[in-house]
A and B are shown apart, each in its own frame.
Chain A
Amino acid sequence: MTAAIETERPPWRRRWLNGNARRRAVTAIRLFAFAALAIWSIATPGFVSPLSLSALMTAISFIGCVAVGMTFITLTGNIMSLSLGVTLSAAALVFLSSLALGIVGACIVAVLFGVAVSGVQGIVIGYFRANPILVSIAALALITGISELVTGGQRVYPTAANFAFFKSRIAGIPVTTLIFLGAVALGELILSGTRFGRAMRMVGSNWRAAEAAGLNAATVVTGAYLLAGAFSAVSGILLAARYGSGDMELGAGYDYSAIAAVLVGGTAIQGGEGSVLRTLIGVSVIAAVEVVLLLRGFPEELQYLVTGIIVLLVIMLHTIGGRE
């Protein structure tokens, strides 16, 4: 029977290995790539030094929080959001202008803002099943337009603020990094330790089956977007505290970097399969490649190109390994 189906395929669609062997081959390629990257990194002079590793960790913290948020969107089968970058910027502006409430108050307001902005998109995508890419492009235009109108295109400076906490270190590790690692732990806990996390995976792998199993898929998708908004807002707060001011350019390009990290980590673009830990790996791999390129004296522009090619290869590799 299987043989009959195989011969019905057009010649170019014929599988060069059967299911399990393919999967093993792809895993082998992935492990080989990791090993090669690790050896390449360690062999690069200056990579294994406290200074460079600390810089690496700080660099991935900002993008990492957004990537954790993006993971939920990809996992529930909604591919990606093009509006998380502007959500981050707008949340940073909200944080900076509500500092009169104190740092903790401002953080809460900013996170609630991110949750609200992203939640509305989640409702539209979950309950009406509107096209997620389209909705996120609409949100991108709306958030940018409204924010620029409110700020008049000016940079926003904090009224009175002390960002010392965000710049301090606890046990030698920057607070920014600790917050990012906390976000990863929280995200992984939600995803692997709760019923809601399992529901997100189910909705992502098969919407109809999830509904048939009694899940309210629309609510699950809305929840995923709420989380994405919250994690993006955290990144906005960290960036605002780091630079001491903010504008709408703060998160420019973060949506693409975040989805790149999610995909390189091995979360499936069609949803249903993936984890926050994989995203952590993805962020680290991209950052490590960039640092190695930088240390070896390659021009900065090459980083963009290498990241793009890695994403393209990973998407192709993943689908070869994952499909039946």
Chain B
Amino acid sequence: MKRLIEPTLRPFTIFAGTIVVLALIDRGTGYFFSLATAFSVMQLFATLSLVALGLGLSMLIREFDLSVAGVVGLSGCIAVLTGAAHPWFGLLCGLAAGIASGALQGFIMTRLQLSSVGVTLGGLLTMQGITYVLTGNRSIAYGNLPVALGLNAPIASILSVRSAVALAVFFAAAAVMAWTHLGRDVVATGSDRRAAMVAGVKTDRVVIGVFTASGAFAALAGVLLSYSLGAASPAALSDVLAPAAAAAIIGGVSVVGGRGHPLGIAAGVLTLSLLRSGLSAIGVSPHVHEIVTGAILLGIGILEGPDLARRVIAWRLNRTQLESLP
């Protein structure tokens, strides 16, 4: 029983728990357990999961990539602007922008030994600026309707091209993390960077690599989302940071670094997507979902606070001392 709430299994326990709770609310009315709900959960998964994966990987090495929100917007706009005739060319351009920005930020961080929050904050503002300049602060329509429809067409009634691509990226990332030296190096860099460096891990390369990967994932998410919406606008995609961070945290990634796994992040994203479509299927206001996300994030943030245990012990000691007074 205790193993189920251990960090590695916790995301899956939370996911199963969410299903049970929603099933209890649903009680066989069939609102909730349907293929349509499963499809919409997977569509939400496709939008959120890749951003959460990039952010989660950066948290895994004890950094924080604020720029994912900027990359999603920028790559989406670039793809829509360049890919009207050739969607693959647009995809390549969008991915190139994400990879370049991630690599550049990682390079600046390691060479100048800067904090990731500062650099990615500058990166985020710069990329938002580029997006505004490219689009002229307007919403750009994507004329290639067949691509938009094709990306969202159901496969095996649950998946779509979009969610299948996201799932494939997750399995690839999980395989790399589990079975290669690279995965081990990433975890080592996150646990104790100095020790990892002494042990021969090229930590600077790991940092640059993780930020490049994060940029690529966010770019892929942005391109697929803009293609399937048939439009890109500079402002619309900026609300992605909170759910992505929440998903990564629920997925067992620790802000202190060194702990977390792609499949855990996937479970975290699925939990959030399930909550959102489950709550809306039951007819609850979408803002309740936002409150639940925030509450979970705050709760885990408090639980992971390094001084929590100290405060609780001090408080208990004070109480027992007070009680033992005559």
Contact = CB atoms under 8 A, between A and B. Distances in A.
Interface in B115-156: 115, 117-119, 121-130, 132-133, 135-137
A141 B126 contact: no
A129 B305 contact: yes
A137 B117 contact: no
A308 B245 CA distance: 23
Given A140-B242, A141-B290, A309-B129, A128 B115 contact: no
B64 interface: yes
Interface residues of B, number: 52
Given A269-B117, A316-B114, A304 B294 contact: no
A146 B117 contact: no
Contact of B241 (A82, A145, A301, A303): A82
B307 A129 contact: yes
B322 to A, nearest CB: 20
Contacts of B308: 128-130
A73 to B, nearest CB: 12
B119 A312 contact: yes
A270 interface: yes
B285 interface: yes
Given A127-B307, A148-B287, A312-B122, A139 B136 contact: no
A215 interface: no
Interface string A285-324: 0000000000000011111111111011101100110010
B112 A319 contact: yes
B129 A140 contact: no
Contacts of B119: 312, 315-316
Nearest to B248: A134
B302 A137 contact: no
Main SS at interface, chain B: helix
Contact of A124 (B66, B293, B295, B305): B305
A260 interface: yes
B305 A141 contact: no
A47 interface: no
Contact of B294 (A139, A306, A323): A139
A42 interface: no
Contact of B302 (A130, A144, A299, A311): A130
A311 B301 contact: no
Of the listed residues B127, B293, B301, the one surrounded by the most CB atoms of chain A closer than 10 A to its CB is: B301
Contact of A134 (B136, B243, B255): B255
10 contacts: A82-B241, A129-B306, A137-B297, A141-B290, A141-B297, A142-B291, A149-B291, A304-B132, A309-B129, A319-B114
Interface of B: 64, 66, 108, 111-115, 117-119, 121-130, 132-133, 135-137, 241-243, 245-246, 249, 255, 285, 287-291, 293-295, 297-298, 301-302, 304-308, 311
